[in-house]
Structure 1
Amino acid sequence: MKVLIVGAGFSGAVIARELVEAGYRVTVIDRRPHLAGNCHTERDVDTGVMVHVYGPHIFHTDDEEVWAYVNRFSSFQPYVNRVKTTVGGRVYSLPINLHTINQFFGTTLRPDEAREFIESQAVTGNANPRTFEEQGLRFVGPRLYKAFFHGYTKKQWGCHPSELPASILKRLPVRFNYNDNYFFHRFQGMPEQGYTALVAGILDHPNIEVRLNTSFQRAMAADYDHVFYSGPLDGYFDYSEGRLGYRTLDFERFTYDGDYQGCAVMNYGDESVPYTRITEHKHFSPWEQHRGSVCYREYSRACGPDDIPYYPIRLVDEKAMLARYVDKAKGARGVTFVGRLGTYRYLDMDVTIREALDTARGFLDARRGDQPIPAFFNEPM
């Protein structure tokens, strides 16, 4: 059986590896000149800094099998993501924690006192917040919401927070201790030689053929028994129902002789600052020492036809369009849609790998049982 995998990011690489270890031969194509998709990393020639070319990625998970899987192909170094934000001319820690609260309000509250204080600040009239803004006001009250969420969210999503669902904010924590680790997962780290080397390790098998600089054309499917497609779902159908909405990112790259900001990520919550954050890439590899520095100012905007899609919008209009594409996909034959773009969902790396493992295993089980291969092993809706 000849299998084609479209996309050499984590989804495609993991599925390819699982299939060849089960005895298949697989071809992996990618339109870009490099592996790892948006996780691509490369050494800056002048500074030696490992640069996250499409923006930073920090690996974090509670999935023990996924953690063991990535460590099989790369050595990982410990890394804790400690995000800072500049608001009103002052620097604070994120996520909002006891230090943030005491610094912002000029207090010395203990955890139980801080909990009571934040509850007293909350706008409690709405028992079931439906929008991001309503949730934020209920969550932390007007002052913290305005400082840390309102402006940043408008810049990130290009609309007023009252137009966004409350679910976006429900996953952001507030901590009543001094823990400023942005994530709370058991396993956190960075691949020592970067993500591209990690993906290359996954794809390093004699039964995997990789073709870069190769765009997928739907006519290619005729040469294969099955296709795993991790490109844009709407793109597979030539955007016949319209283009699904995404936000994209523009990066203003600059270098600095020394340490520019003293941390990997500095957010900017004020609306008057046009960019959302500055990332300083040498701080993503704290086990290395570099005098020079590579930084990105990050700007968010609506994604155009020629832009790289980053964040699916998934508001009402997009969900209606998505439903039509899902119907088309389920009517197609010989193709399974996978990954962030193929299922039009925002996925962390660990979830992407988990779903790729489960998809490959589901495919193999279906083949052994002579069952049909579904268009989606993970439903987009």
Structure 2
Amino acid sequence: MSKRILLVGAGLSGAVIGRTLAEAGHDITIVDERKHIAGNCYTERDDESGVMVHTYGPHIFHTDDEEVWTYVNRFERFMPYVNRVKTTSGDQVYSLPINLHTINQVFGKSFRPDEARAFIETLSDTSIEDPKTFEEQALRFVGQRLYEAFFKGYTIKQWGCDPNDLPASILKRLPVRFNYDDNYFFHRFQGMPENGYTPMVEKILDHDRIQVELNRRFTRSDAGAFDHVFYSGPLDGYFDFELGRLGYRTLDFEMFRHDGDYQGCAVMNYGDVEVPYTRITEHKHFSPWEKHEKSVCYREYSRACGENDIPYYPIRLADEKSLLGRYVEKAKAEHGVTFVGRLGTYRYLDMDVTIREALDTAAAYKRDGDTMGAFHVNPD
């Protein structure tokens, strides 16, 4: 039986769930308070340079999920792209993640892999048997010098607090390679949509049973006209922040232009705490199959998220987790609404995971219908 379904948010979660359920014969309405679709992965051409700009910061697609890779390529051709990040620390440029070249460069050595591995072990603080904090995790596995050059200052700027206040889990899988591989990601499928993410989302939404309404703010009273709601906005926002606001970090972007090539790479991190921005991104390098004489760059600054800011990174420290638990209980008491996506479940999600969860959530609705609960993936 065809149902009337409302999706709040025209980003990846809303688009993928909406498309899947539209193909199953349901009538879909998608609302978004922004003036555009695609959420934070929105891309657009810069009129002056012709460069494809990632308006809300770079989004690089990488996954080991073949079904998700096939899905996105159904709507937009993905071109090969390898994310090779550089970092400036102490007036020197190094390769990230830490690899054999980085180690040899920092210490002025010419180690082979086994020599580098043994050398790093001598730098590690082996007295830390069970790291509890971000700093302890770093000191245990790479030692003081590499920690201070590549992690400490960047982390203070990114999270706005002392690394000893952050859990070790943030650095749980510390990327250190004892070869010359400078591919930032491990995944077997990596790429960028040839024409940007916005056309991809447009094609996902291009279905006779999907109606999209932009510049429209959702209120809970809207739900009464629908059989089910999938909500990808902020979890606390759904309840009008009545228990308080969950903590996020937000980003400010300072855009500037350059004639020619500004930094020779897509992403340049700045590890020194004295440099106020965390990184500079040069957007034409995210589309290496294109040629542009002029360049568009972003300086990226991280700060605490205010009431009118775009939330990017959930903080998820002890106080936030406690408040999250209370909101989760309120959500579970709701009927006919399922919370999805990065904001709806208060978790940092890569794009491939967002799409995977959206496909699985839509499949669960097709199976369970309106008896579906508040969360297909538990925020805890």
TM-score by length of 1: 0.99
2:336–2:371 Cα contact (<8 Å) kept: no
Quote the residue 2:200 is aligned against: 198
Map 1:215-234 onto structure 2 (within 5 A).
215-234=217-236
Match of 1:172 among 148, 165, 174: 174
- 1:50 and 1:373 map into 2 onto residues whose CA distance is 39
2:29–2:212 Cα contact (<8 Å) kept: yes
Quote the residue 1:333 is aligned against: 335
Provide, for residues 41-96 of structure 1, a one-character-per-residue CA deviation record: whole Å limited to 9, x for no partner: 00000000000000000000000000000000001100000000000000000000
The percent identity for this pair of structures is: 72
Quote the residue 2:294 is aligned against: 292
Q: How well do the aligned residues superpose, as a CA RMSD in angstroms?
A: 0.6
Match of 2:248 among 246, 249, 267: 246
- 1:64 and 1:265 map into 2 onto residues whose CA distance is 27
Letter in 1 for 2:123: Q
- 1:17 and 1:224 map into 2 onto residues whose CA distance is 17
- 1:159 and 1:52 map into 2 onto residues whose CA distance is 27
Quote the residue 2:75 is aligned against: 73
Alpha-carbon offset, residue 256 of structure 1: 0.4
Map 1:20-35 onto structure 2 (within 5 A).
20-35=22-37
- 2:379 and 2:146 map into 1 onto residues whose CA distance is 34
Letter in 1 for 2:322: A
Quote the residue 2:372 is aligned against: 373
Structure 1, unaligned stretches of length 5 or more? none
Structure 2, unaligned stretches of length 5 or more? none
Alpha-carbon offset, residue 121 of structure 1: 0.2
Match of 1:349 among 348, 351, 356: 351
Count of residue correspondences: 378
Q: Secondary structure, in 3 states, of the residue corresponding to 1:92?
A: strand
Alpha-carbon offset, residue 372 of structure 1: 1.5
- 2:336 and 2:368 map into 1 onto residues whose CA distance is 13
- 2:35 and 2:209 map into 1 onto residues whose CA distance is 21
Quote the residue 1:117 is aligned against: 119
Alpha-carbon offset, residue 139 of structure 1: 1.2
Q: Secondary structure, in 3 states, of the residue corresponding to 1:16?
A: helix
Letter in 1 for 2:147: Y
Letter in 1 for 2:212: V
Match of 1:262 among 254, 264, 272: 264
Alpha-carbon offset, residue 172 of structure 1: 3.1
- 1:139 and 1:147 map into 2 onto residues whose CA distance is 14
Quote the residue 1:151 is aligned against: 153
Alpha-carbon offset, residue 126 of structure 1: 1.3
2:252–2:301 Cα contact (<8 Å) kept: yes
Match of 1:40 among 20, 42, 51: 42
Quote the residue 1:63 is aligned against: 65
Provide, for residues 292-327 of structure 1, a one-character-per-residue CA deviation record: whole Å limited to 9, x for no partner: 000000000000000000000000000000000000
Provide, for residues 122-147 of structure 1, a one-character-per-residue CA deviation record: whole Å limited to 9, x for no partner: 01101100000000000100000010
Map 1:70-149 onto structure 2 (within 5 A).
70-149=72-151
Quote the residue 1:7 is aligned against: 9
Q: Secondary structure, in 3 states, of the residue corresponding to 1:301?
A: strand
Provide, for residues 332-375 of structure 1, a one-character-per-residue CA deviation record: whole Å limited to 9, x for no partner: 111000000000000000000000000000011002xxx72110
Alpha-carbon offset, residue 170 of structure 1: 1.3
